[in-house]
Amino acid sequence: MQKHHLDSDPLIFTDCTITGQHANRSGYHDMVDALRTGRLYLILAEGLDRLSRNLTETSGLYKLSRYYDTDMITVIDGKITQLHIGFKGTNE
């Protein structure tokens, strides 16, 4: 089990006034880039819909987070699992 220390300021990604229905958002791309370059060990959001409202993108982000051993946690659902992604798909 890998332990992480909060020895640096958190990275905060925003896309103010841009809908989460589209992946063409600079903050989203910056977050994915930080994930791929190993600068993230945790993705924290209010809810999954704050990351993306598109099932394909949400699923892709979840798969990337698993590949890079990065947890996704939301205030609403807690630690995100494949089950959460599946339930999101049934609600669209």
Q: Model confidence over 31-72: pLDDT tens digits?
A: 999 999 999 989 999 999 888 888 888 999 999 999 999 999
Nearest to 51 by CA among 67, 35, 68, 37: 35
Range name among 16-25, 27-36, 44-53, 83-92 with the lowest pLDDT average: 16-25
pLDDT at 7 over 70: no
Rounded to an integer, what distance in angstroms lies between the CA atom of residue 32 and that of residue 35?
A: 5
Sketch the domain layout of the chain as residue ranges. 40-90
For 57, left (φ over 0), alpha (ψ -120 to 50), or beta? alpha
- Partnered with residue 78 across adjacent β-strands are 74
Whether 58 and 52 have beta carbons less than 8 Å apart is answered as: yes
Q: Grade residue 25 by pLDDT with cuts at 50, 70 and 90.
A: confident
The predicted model scores a pTM of: 0.78
